Structures are given as structure tokens and as C-alpha cells.
Amino acid sequence: VELRDQHVTDGFDAVAQRALRGAPGELLLVPGPVSLNAEVQAELEHPPRPHYGPDWVRVFDETTDRLRAIFRTTGDVVLFFGPGAAGLEAALHTFLHQSDRLLVPSNGVFGERLSRLAEACGVTVIRLPFAPKEPVLPEAVAEAAERAGATALAVVHNETGCGLVNPLEEICSEAGRLGLFTIVDAVSSLGGIPLEVDRWGIDVCVGVGNKCLAAPVGISPISVSRQAWERSGSADLGPKGSFLNLVTWRDARSRPDHHPHPTTMPTSTLHALHTAAGIVLEDPAGFLRRHAATAALAREGLSELGFPLYVEDERYASPVVTAAYALETMNLDDYMGWLASTCRIRIARGIDTGDEPVFRVGHMGLGADPEVAAAYLELTRHYLEERVPA
Ligand SMILES: Cc1ncc(COP(=O)(O)O)c(C=O)c1O
């Protein structure tokens, strides 16, 4: 790529280099997985360690406690080995009953996926679709729950596919009023968007390490209320096996002499999560503010450059991922390819945004940094000047 103004791209390469500390690879501005801070990356690269012994158990227990603090719960946390979808499936299997009627509101790809996961587990699902770009409305949830005789609710906090955050506190408040057992998909929100498991009355909340917590892929932390464990005693959905049954994970913890989990764990990943969670807890409110400030800057900057934002209503614009339409005069593949090849910065396409040319910029991991967002915007400005007809 020939550029008139080479110093501009050199400048951005320097930003990527600094963020990556000179490491090879790309700066991921996709909504997970994320580029890791050097300390977390070092844990991941540490030679393998065993998943037993007192030193390991101490780190495992400390990580569990750190996640408890991040979930804002005094209840239980299971560090489940697997991706978010496995954590969600385990939660559905472990706590729901054949007699349950599970309401699943949806305004995007992950809400729909949650419905399908629940159906695959044999749960009776009541879908409550919302129009694209519309948040899940608490009053509509309450009305549908009453109409359908729902006993449980499963809801996505942050719709990663289109950058829309649902008003979870208000949704949970309605669920609490109606006595619904509540399961939350916080896969793309945990750590990056305010979330209060105990105060909001969430029974089971499923996250992952590899998004806002800024850790590598491999562990799905799941918070479990006392009521949820009680419910698991009589859960009677079809065969749930052993690995996907969170009771197996809970019970393994009572034999820490061996190891406090039922399977071999990805030890480097756990150590990296331990470090990443420690960083979150140095200043949890500041950590949240940094995501929100980065998203605000990205939204403002993209708007100024003429990109129509996918979610127009500020109240529901995600603080961890921004989606926008490409300009009519530009080729989205060319733009994304240019970012990747010239600047080593990777952004994502919209998911479930129809045939429309939508792209997403993640504000997670090293991307949750206003300086990185400013650099990305400057680079985009440069791209438009150089390669897009006015
Ligand atoms: C909201 C949400 N739920 C569930 C998932 C699935 O997580 P995983 O890919 O780790 O299985 C994702 C992944 O991006 C997500 O964003």
C-alpha cells in the first residue's frame, strides 16, 4: 500500500507496537478474544505447571475469590473449563427442570443462540423477540412472563453481535418481582459493564475470561446463588452427564487435597486469569470507566468521520463494543484489510446485522484504552482521506 503520508501509519504502528510491547501479532480490536497486557501474556507463556499441590490450590482459590468480587457476589463461583457456550449449557442443564417454562428475550444473535442452547437441553423455551437495535424492554419481559406463565428467565446482558447493552438491572428487577429463576449471559460484559449479581438478584451468571476480563480463552467463570444450588438438587432435564453438571464442579472443591476441580485445568490460563482479575480489582470502578470512556470516544469519533452508528440511542450503546455502518463510498473489506495489513489492527464485521456493511470495534483488553481508540480513529481518518473518494 502506497501512502502519501507514511509517518501517519508509522505512528499507528508505533501505537500497536507499544500496546503489544513489541510482541509479534496484531492488536485485536475485535470483541474477544483480546490482546493481553504483558503481565497476563507472560503467565500464559509460562512453562506448564501441574494442576494440584498447595501452590496451585492457593492460586485457584484466590482466583475464585477474585471472580466473586468482580461478580459482586458473596455466593459461589465455579471456574468452569470451557468456552462461554459450554458454561451456558452447563448452567441450563444444572439448574432447570422439565416443568420450567424459560422466557428468553432476544434482540440479536446471542439471544437467539441462548434459545437454541436451551432447546437443545430439552427446556421449554418461550421466545420473546425484539426488533433489531431495540433493547430488551423490562415491561415487555414482565408482560410476556405473566402471559406465558414463565418460571425462569435467560437473558443476554450485552449483545456482542451489534453492540447493544440491555437494561439488565431493570429486567432483573421485574424477574425478581415475578419470582423468576434468572440466568444471565454476561459473556461479553463481565468486568467491562456494571453488573451486580447479588443486588440485582441474579441466580446464575455466566462469563468468560477472554473478553472484558482481559485474560486468555479457556475459562468460563459462573456465579451460582444458594437458591440455584438448592434447585440443582431436583433438576430433572434429560441426561446432563458429569462434566456439564456444575454440581460435579462444586463437589470437587471439597477435596482440595487432590485438586479442587473435576478435570485437568489449563493451568497457564488459570494463572493468567488470576493476574488479569487482580488487575481489574486494583480499581474496579476505574476499569469500568475506562471501557465507557473508550467507547464514548469511538462513537464520537466515528460519527464525526461520517459513519452512521448502528445503535443510535446512547442509553443502549455498549461500552465494550461499537458497531457502525461503512460509508456508502467505501469498500468494507478493503478498509478492514488495510487496517490489518498496514497497521496490524484487527476489527470485526457485524454479526446478524443482515447484509448491511456493519463493522464492530471492541473496547476490551488492550483495546479498552482511549489512547488506542484515538489512534484507531486517526488511522481511519487517514484511510478515508487516502483511499475513499469524497
Ligand atoms: C454474548 C455472548 N454469549 C455467548 C457467546 C459464546 O461464547 P463462546 O464463543 O466463548 O462460546 C459469546 C461469544 O462471543 C457472546 O458474545
What pLDDT, on the 0 to 100 scale, is given for residue 110? 97
Distance 30 CA to ligand 1 centre (A): 13
> Which residue matches cell numbers 453492540?
163
Confidence of residue 276 (pLDDT cuts 50, 70, 90): very high
85 lines ligand 1 (CB under 6 A): yes
CB 49 within 8 A of CB 271: yes
Q: Which residues of 305-315 are buried (b: 16+ CB within 10 A; e: fewer)?
A: eebebbbeeee
Helix (H, G, I), strand (E, B) or coil at 349: strand
More confident residue, 23 or 146: 146
CA distance 184 to 112: 14
* pTM for the whole structure: 0.95
Cβ 133 vs Cβ 310: under 8 Å = yes
**Mean pLDDT lowest among 231-245, 304-318, 325-339:** 231-245
Which of 234-243, 289-298, 305-314 is least confident?
234-243
384 Cα–ligand 1 center, Å: 32
Task: State which H helix or E strand residue 103 sits in.
Answer: strand 101-106
* Distance from Cα 41 to the centre of ligand 1, integer Å: 22
The three-state secondary structure class of 153 is strand
Cell numbers for 178, please give them. 415475578
Say if residue 271's pLDDT is above 90: yes
pLDDT tops 80 at residue 228: yes
Confidence at residue 1, expressed as pLDDT on a 0 to 100 scale = 33
pLDDT of the residue at 343: 86
Indicate the helix (H) or strand (E) that contains 102. strand 101-106
Quick check: CB of 43 below 6 Å from ligand 1? Answer: no
CB distance 107 to ligand 1 below 6 Å: no
Residues near 337 by Cβ (< 8 Å), separated by ≥ 6? none
- Cβ neighbour number for residue 198 with a 10 Å cutoff: 14
What separation in angstroms does the CA of 300 have from each of 12, 109, 122? 20, 26, 44
- In this predicted structure, the answer to whether residue 3 has a pLDDT above a threshold of 70 is no
